Structure 1
Amino acid sequence: MPALNVVSVVTPVHSGAVRFLPDAYASLFAQDLPGGWSWEWCVQEDGSDVGAQSCLPAGDPRIRISASRAGGPHVARTMAFARSTGAYVKTLDADDQLTPGTLARDLAVLEEDASVGWTTSRVVDLLEDGSTVSFESSDPQPGRLPRGSAFGFWTEHHRPQVHPATLCVRRSLLALLGGWMALPASGDTGLLLGLDALADGWFIGGTGLAYRKHGGQITAHPDHRSGAEWEARMSLIREHAEAIRAWADTRVQPPPEPGP
């Protein structure tokens, strides 16, 4: 059974990003939660000799560090989820930072309306000099994201309308999907579209994440947006989402009328 009044923050980290963990921790430590709520931070080392423990305080029992065989960030996220206990699961990449009040806003939406399965929020870029900048985005209006709307936008533009690095998810939905798609990249987009196939989401208009821009991130790789790997990733993400949508549609259809 999930732990009541706990939100699990899951963070994959490899050796190249471990230096960013203190900033991620500081942003998590500064979060104010509703009365009776707490967070746990499940940090998953992607491979051996990552050294996350050396960068984080030893005296905070909410930090839970473990390691698994190298499989990429989406496998590491799923392994962190496997160790988590919270009723809600929040993603936070090692090189990113939560903005003040993010967890409280996520919890307020999910606790208020049981029909909302997941939340996302606005993002700003965090530059190497420490400044943040807004960018022209396709953010929807704050509020409910009807089931299927994320897939419709992605189908037209081949990119998500909302940023999957800001997801906060009901544990039962994440378990149903088996965590993140085990892809070298875009596994979080695959998860977003899977969630969108199952339940309404909610877009929080306030900024929820400072997304660090640096040369070592996966999105800077030349194969990220074109080529054979990109085509295979997009094809599987589409097939995955369409299969879940078809299954979900059969679950919500009314039963047939009885015969004469």
Structure 2
Amino acid sequence: MSAAVSRRATVVTVVTAVHAPSARFLPEAYASLCEQRLPDGWEWRWLVQEDGYGDEVRPYVPDDARVSFRQGRAGGPGVARTIALARAEGPYVRILDADDRLPPGALARDLAVLEGDPAVGWATSRVLDLLPDGSTAGFPGDPQEGPIERGAVLDHWTANDFRAPVHPASLFVRRELLLALGGWMALPASEDTGLLLALNAVSRGWFSAATGLLYRKWKGQVTGQAAHTDPVERGARMAVVEARARALADFGWQYPPGR
């Protein structure tokens, strides 16, 4: 049954790119959204954007007035997420990949951080791998809960074989800041890492030690394909991601302006 939508609520927009192989996980992502409890006066809207045209995704999209589904030319998840921003409402955007899930309380925690400190442009959180048998595994080396200063992500990333200290799939970001940076990078992969580094080049962030995402590991995921680790392509991706972040830092533009 379709859920009612309040016209007076302030919106957190959740953006999901999906393609046919990952569509079967959408009901679990939706169930995790329905478990979220936001403060009075806040609601979420879910923008599901198919990367391409076909008949395999739509049957998995829930019948809910809070959910908007569109299709578009295939260009990868970054293109799908960015085109979905045309439908975004409210001051904040949360990323949720089609095959991932939000633990209870994840949206409310991120919202509290950004509502509580206007100088913080984005938030990330602890991520657990969701393994095929249903068990979970953590990432080693999570930072302590608290602010992430400008440039800290790039410093760590370059010193640790292009591995960021926080996970870009858990990003919760101010919508205007996301739009000002052009959304996700036009790359075949690492487009979310490129966004993370760009955000950190111009604004402070926040890391929450509480688990904010269950990151599904499965045979068909894009990051598990051989092309993702091709050394020539990976080197090119990393080069342009780093160059963008350094250029933004060198230009001196920052969020909030004038701070």
Structure 2 counterpart SS, 1:165: helix
- Match of residue 155 from structure 1: 158
Per-residue deviation at 1:35?
Answer: 0.7
- Pairing partner for 2:133 from 129, 133, 139: 129
The letter of the residue matching 1:141 is: Q
Q: 1:85 to 1:22 in 2, by over 3 A?
A: same
The answer to whether 1:85 aligns with 2:51 is no
Count of aligned positions = 250
Q: 8 Å contact 2:151–2:201 — kept in the other structure?
A: yes
Q: CA RMSD in A?
A: 1.9
Q: 8 Å contact 1:14–1:50 — kept in the other structure?
A: no
The letter of the residue matching 1:162 is: V
* 1:105-130 CA distance string (max 9 Å, x none): 00000000000000000011111122
Per-residue deviation at 1:249?
Answer: 5.8
Task: Give the Cα separation in 2 of the matches to 1:245 and 1:214.
Answer: 36
Query: Highest Rg: 1 or 2?
Result: 1
Structure 2 counterpart SS, 1:110: helix
Q: 1:23 to 1:112 in 2, by over 3 A?
A: same
The answer to whether 1:165 aligns with 2:174 is no
Matched-pair identity in %: 54
The letter of the residue matching 1:148 is: G
- Match of residue 206 from structure 1: 210
- Match of residue 27 from structure 1: 32
- Match of residue 191 from structure 1: 195
Per-residue deviation at 1:248?
Answer: 2.1
* 1:13-52 CA distance string (max 9 Å, x none): 0001000000000000110001100000000001011533
> After the TM superposition, which parts of structure 1 deviate over 3 Å for at least 4 consecutive aligned residues?
249-254
The answer to whether 1:5 aligns with 2:2 is no
The letter of the residue matching 1:181 is: M
So what's the TM-score if we normalise by structure 1? 0.92
- Match of residue 57 from structure 1: 62
Q: 8 Å contact 2:203–2:254 — kept in the other structure?
A: no
Task: Give the Cα separation in 2 of the matches to 1:249 and 1:53.
Answer: 41
Structure 2 gap ranges (5+):
1-7
The answer to whether 1:146 aligns with 2:138 is no
Q: 8 Å contact 2:119–2:256 — kept in the other structure?
A: no
State which drifts further: 9-18 or 215-224.
215-224
The answer to whether 1:38 aligns with 2:43 is yes
Q: 8 Å contact 1:52–1:65 — kept in the other structure?
A: no
Task: Give the Cα separation in 2 of the matches to 1:9 and 1:129.
Answer: 27
Task: Give the Cα separation in 2 of the matches to 1:88 and 1:128.
Answer: 31
